[in-house]
Amino acid sequence: MSPLPPFAAVVLAGGRAARLGGQPKPQLDVGGRSMLD
C-alpha cells in the first residue's frame, strides 16, 4: 500500500454513528489508518 499524501484537514466525526452500525467514526479505517490518527 502506498503512503498517504500529506494533507491538512479537519474531520467532523460526531453523532451516534447509527448508519455505521454503531462504530465510532474516529475509529474508521481510511488508507490503513484510523481517522483519529
What cell was used for 37? 490518527
Decide: 31 and 37 in contact? Cβ < 8 Å: no
Would you state the pLDDT for residue 13? 64
User: How do residues 1-37 score in pLDDT, each as one tens digit?
Assistant: 678 778 777 767 677 778 878 788 778 888 898 877 8
Single pTM value for the model: 0.45
Decide: 19 and 13 in contact? Cβ < 8 Å: no
Would you state the pLDDT for residue 28? 83
